[in-house]
Amino acid sequence: MHRTILTSALLILSTLILSGASCQVKLEDHEVCGDKGELGAKCFHLKSAGTRALSYEEWEEERFGQLCMKDTAFANLKKAILKLCDQTKRCTWEELQVIQKFDTRIQTFKKETAK
């Protein structure tokens, strides 16, 4: 099963939880990298469209100290984030779209690496 570096997903959840006193949630444009094994990694951002590919050697050096989670764990986080957004009414339409686009990028990564 694919392991995806999803540090930003944890940051999103933390931001949502800690933003209770503010008017809305602000999602930062963190980079997320998906591990492609011997092929290295593919990195993309939470909000912006750019991507970058890392060779195995580059990825071996860069991934040290990063957090990993399976895509199913991210799916559970996404569900919790969307539930929190619904209950608190603190997420803007734009931020909800960011979360959905980020999920689409993860699903695209999974399809690309399944080939």
Report if pTM > 0.85: no
pLDDT, one tens digit per residue, over 19-78 is: 554 546 677 888 888 888 899 999 988 888 888 999 999 999 998 888 787 878 888 888
Asked if residues 41 and 34 have their Cβ atoms less than 8 Å apart, the reply is yes
Structure tokens at 73: 């764990």
- Dump strand ranges (E) for the chain: 3-4, 31-35, 41-45, 51-54, 69-70
pLDDT at residue 6, as a whole number: 47
| Residue 10 clears pLDDT 80, i.e. is over it | no
Asked if residues 77 and 9 have their Cβ atoms less than 8 Å apart, the reply is yes
